[in-house]
């Protein structure tokens, strides 16, 4: 059974357990999907309202993109679990002989890179979803403005959480080229994404305090 097809209650329960999956990566993907869904909700509550007719086409475009990202992030819950299991196994490998030590090291290096993949993708998708919220915040129904704030807060948590899962893996990877490429791919997105999320949140707070 797929993790994404578990009920919310059961997902939380297995997350809380010592089972190897889901872990922080799967949690980040789900929280990112929830944040993205809130953006879609705000689009759906805006579309069809006369007051926002001038933004209608753009909001429809945001809704379509958010729907795609939500689907991808939900899929990443299980992709991350699948990619983590080889690492979980590799940690358990014997290293009594020189040969075993070498095999374990090689298997670990490969498994660590594999475990990095999905968290890197979660960083990218969360960044895209944060940008959609940035675009949406001034074009949406003011009745739903608080949900834009909730959306970016969830996505902020998702992008930072995914990055933590990148870091814990690359810390053990020996291939320096790989490590610097992954850092380059993610660090700027996380920095910019967090800043944009904070800016959008401040706009929401300002709108709510009027």
Binding site for a copy of itself (CB under 8 A): 3-9, 11-13, 15-18, 23-24, 27-28, 30-31, 33-38, 40-41, 44-45, 66-67, 70, 74, 77, 145-147, 149-150, 153-154, 156-157, 160-161, 164-165, 167-168, 171, 201, 204-205, 208
Under a CB-based contact definition with an 8 Å cutoff, are residues 134 and 199 in contact? yes
Minimum CB distance to a copy of itself smaller for 53 or for 208: 208
Minimum CB distance to a copy of itself smaller for 51 or for 97: 51
3-class secondary structure, 138: coil
In 3D, which of 26, 24, 186, 173 has the Cα closest to residue 113? 173
Under a CB-based contact definition with an 8 Å cutoff, are residues 167 and 147 in contact? no
Under a CB-based contact definition with an 8 Å cutoff, are residues 140 and 59 in contact? yes
* Least distance (Å) between residue 10 CB and a copy of itself: 9
DSSP state of 133: H
Minimum CB distance to a copy of itself smaller for 17 or for 97: 17
Sequence-ordered list of residues with C-beta below 8 angstroms from that of 104, at least 6 positions apart, any chain: 90, 93, 94, 95
* Least distance (Å) between residue 137 CB and a copy of itself: 13
Tokens standing for 89? 């196994």
Cα separation, 153 vs 147, whole angstroms: 10
Minimum CB distance to a copy of itself smaller for 112 or for 149: 149
Residue with tokens 């990148």: 166
Cα separation, 100 vs 83, whole angstroms: 23
3-class secondary structure, 21: coil
Minimum CB distance to a copy of itself smaller for 38 or for 108: 38
* Least distance (Å) between residue 98 CB and a copy of itself: 25
* Least distance (Å) between residue 49 CB and a copy of itself: 11
Minimum CB distance to a copy of itself smaller for 122 or for 124: 122
* Least distance (Å) between residue 79 CB and a copy of itself: 14
* Least distance (Å) between residue 209 CB and a copy of itself: 8
């Amino acid at each position: 059974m797929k993790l994404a097809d578990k009920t919310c209650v059961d997902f939380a329960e297995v997350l809380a357990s010592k089972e190897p999956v889901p872990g922080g990566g799967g949690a980040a993907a789900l929280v990112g999907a929830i944040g993205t869904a809130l953006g879609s909700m705000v689009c759906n509550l805006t579309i069809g309202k006369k007051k926002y007719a001038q933004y209608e086409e753009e909001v429809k475009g945001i809704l379509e993109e958010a729907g795609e990202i939500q689907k991808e992030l939900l899929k990443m819950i299980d992709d991350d679990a699948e990619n983590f299991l080889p690492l979980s196994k590799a940690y358990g490998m014997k290293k009594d002989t020189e040969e075993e030590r070498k095999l374990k090291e090689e298997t670990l290096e490969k498994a660590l890179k594999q475990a990095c993949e999905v968290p890197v993708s979660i960083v990218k998708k969360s960044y895209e979803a944060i940008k959609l919220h940035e675009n949406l915040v001034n074009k949406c129904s003011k009745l739903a403005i608080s949900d834009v704030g909730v959306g970016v807060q969830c996505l902020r948590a998702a992008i930072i959480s995914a990055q933590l899962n990148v870091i814990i893996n690359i810390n053990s990877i020996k291939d320096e080229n790989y490590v610097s490429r992954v850092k380059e791919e993610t660090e700027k997105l996380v920095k910019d994404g967090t800043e944009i999320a904070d800016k959008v949140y401040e706009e929401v707070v300002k709108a709510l305090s009027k």
